[in-house]
Amino acid sequence: MTTDIAGRTVIITGAGGGIGEALALGFLADGARVVGADVDLSGLERLAARGVVTRRCDVTVEAEVRALIAAAQAETGRVDVLFNNAGLGHRHRIDEIPDGLFERMAQVSLFGPFYAIRAALPVMRAQGYGRVVNMISRGAEARAPGWAGYASAKAGLFALTRVAAAETQGADILVNAMIPGPTRSGMNQGPGLQEPAAVYPHARWMASLPSGGPNGEVFWNSKPYALFAGGATREA
């Protein structure tokens, strides 16, 4: 069972394209008050034209993330759902990773969600409600050349999800992780990929979990997924 998403305030990072844009438009169509954040101004312009509240935000800069959460609360009065969706997807062997890229991937995919969760939790605690969804990947458990930066960042995000969930026990705040599956986006091209809009029904399900719902879990296609359980050779 899920609760109604209509009227909820939903913040989405990385909303300027791909999955993030599809989620923003999906939640908007279902009556949520959507705040979309990105560094891609053209993507934000598209969303604004559709009625999404937009804000330029570099998730690697904590002050900008705090300002995003504060602006969403000021604009709508609440922060109900936080989707940590922003990410990078480069592949390089460890000894060939360009200087700074490993750090950049961690900053976007791990530090960014940490900043957002740290800023949003006090608001969610005060209002007595919150849903946090961290976008991760089976790439976290991949044992494959070129995945050092991506896998490390996503594995760290998995750990952050579980710790944050433990720290919200007893409050109506659920922190879970979502695997979107192979999806066409700016960082993922090729045959056999689903379109970003296919991710939305599962995102909506996770964003509207009822009180007492799962906490600290990973889901793929709205079903539990046991990350690191026999997945030593998996790729995203």
Residue type, 103: E
What residue ranges do the domains of the chain occupy? 9-224
Say which residues have a Cβ less than 8 Å from residue 178's Cβ, sequence separation at least 6.
133, 134, 135, 136, 202, 203, 206, 218, 219, 220
Question: Are residues 164 and 177 in contact, defined by beta-carbon separation less than 8 angstroms?
Answer: no
Top CATH class, 9-224: alpha beta
pLDDT in tens, 59-118: 999 999 999 999 999 999 999 999 999 998 888 999 999 999 999 999 999 999 999 999
Q: What is the arithmetic mean of pLDDT over 123-148? A: 94
- Is it the case that residue 230 has pLDDT exceeding 90? no
Start-to-end CA distance of the chain, whole Å, equals 28
- Residue in the structure block whose two tokens are 């990350």: 227
pLDDT of residue 3: 66
Among 129, 150, 200, 225, the one annotated catalytic: 150
236 confidence band (pLDDT: 50, 70, 90): very low
| Catalytic (active site) residue 150 | yes
